[in-house]
Amino acid sequence: MIIPIKPWLDLANDKSTHLARGVASQDGGLILSADPEADEFRLGGVGYRNLYAGGFMSDRMDFYHEPIMGERILEALEPLEGKQVFDGTLGGGGHSRMILENGGFVIGCDQDEAAIEHATERLSRFEDRFLPVRGNFAEVDDLLGHHGIDKVDAVVLDLGVSSRQLDDGTRGFSFREDAPLDMRMDNRSDLSAAVVVNEWSEDELIRIFREFGEERRARRVAAEIVKARAVSPIRTTGELAALVEKAVPRVSGKHPATRVFQAIRIAVNRELEVLEIALEKAVSVLSPGGVLAVITFHSLEDRIVKHFMRRRSLPEVDRPEWPEPRPNPDFAFTLPFRKAVVADPEEVARNPRSRSAKLRIAVRN
């Protein structure tokens, strides 16, 4: 059902601080993720800073976000006119703008206050067809329900890195600048990178470096961190990167701290946990025929999305001990593509960030 967005805006301008502030939990949050092999993290390569000559991408384009595989998403949403779409990773507003320009309504969700402010200004020309909401997309059911929305026609999640967040030295996402250890997507969260690095046990550090960063030298890195923090707290990204480089030799253009930073960021923002929650909740908020489109940038996220969609798209399940297959109680989707969709060579040449992206699409039964 299509519900005009204008009444929601009226509610937001009413005296409702709950809506204005969003409903994200204090200990939760999702940080946009990057493949450790992606260009964003290469030193001397075609990184996010080098895509446009003359300066950083965010300096030149003010948080510009070219929508990755935008045409493929538009094809999946056709006909788009009048449909309501939940954009769970609003970011720079690239996918939302594309959907709005093609006649859709958008509820744009992000827990990053700067992203909400930027997209609100950038997409203001669409007036009552765009509603910005601050929150975590794992709370999609609560965020929609707060505005009287039961179902939407699509849920779009782009789990990619925002150049503005990487460029902002105060956020502590990148080791290119010596910044405070933070890495929080939602600054209302109590858990920061500094807490993880300085307070978590050595065993916990080993675990996240292995599981979230796939770092083979996790034990050596954790030992180096514990040894250093016993003398004085590790306070900046530069200090942490230097410690990792002592434990992990540089063997390529990629900085040795890339995987460790990824692991800490995932832990701080509970990335994989909230992704699993959001995927399950998408089942309940999508109308019949509704589209779930998810873009991932590293194998950990893609594995979660792939297994979820496969499990939810099997009409029947079978086990060796059963005499015959049985109906699958989790059956909810049809998959238009068996494999992930990747960017074509033209898009990769135009936008190198799309090189490591994978798009998976599921249609609600």
138-149 pLDDT, tens digit per residue, is 999 999 999 999
Per-residue confidence (pLDDT) for residue 247, from 0 to 100: 93
- Please provide the DSSP assignment of 104-160 as one string: -EEEEEES-HHHHHHHHHHTGGGGGGEEEEES-GGGHHHHHHTTT---EEEEEEE-P
Comparison of pLDDT for 24 and 223, the residue scoring more: 223
Is residue 18's pLDDT more than 90?
no
Is residue 244's pLDDT more than 80?
yes
Nearest CA to 159 out of 278, 24, 13 is that of 278
Q: Name the percent of the chain lying above pLDDT 70.
A: 79
Comparison of pLDDT for 330 and 252, the residue scoring more: 330
Query: Under CATH, what is the fold of the domain 6-30+63-158+272-364?
Result: Rossmann fold (3.40.50)
What is the distance in angstroms between the CA of the first residue and the CA of the last residue of the chain?
16
Cβ-proximal residues to 34 (8 Å cutoff; 6+ apart), any chain: 40, 41, 160, 161, 262, 297, 298, 356
* Gap between the Cα atoms of 166 and 163, Å rounded: 5
Question: Can you tell me the mean pLDDT for 172-189?
Answer: 86
What is the domain partition of the chain in residue ranges?
6-30+63-158+272-364, 187-269
* Gap between the Cα atoms of 240 and 261, Å rounded: 9
290-305 pLDDT per residue, tens: 999 999 999 999 999 9
Measured in degrees and rounded to the nearest 5, phi and psi for residue 36 equal -65, -15
**pLDDT tier at 49, thresholds 50, 70, 90:** very low
Is residue 48's pLDDT more than 60?
no
264-280 pLDDT per residue, tens: 999 999 999 999 999 99
pTM reported for the whole predicted model: 0.81
Q: Can you list the pairs that 193-197 forms with residues at least 24 positions away whose Cβ atoms lie under 8 Å?
A: 193/240, 193/264, 193/265, 193/268, 194/233, 194/234, 194/235, 196/264, 196/267, 196/268, 197/225, 197/229, 197/234, 197/240, 197/264
CATH topology of 6-30+63-158+272-364 equal to that of 187-269? no
Measured in degrees and rounded to the nearest 5, phi and psi for residue 169 equal -60, -20
What's the whole-number average pLDDT of the chain? 83
* Gap between the Cα atoms of 196 and 265, Å rounded: 10
The second-level CATH assignment, the architecture, of 187-269 is: Orthogonal Bundle (1.10)
* Gap between the Cα atoms of 306 and 354, Å rounded: 19
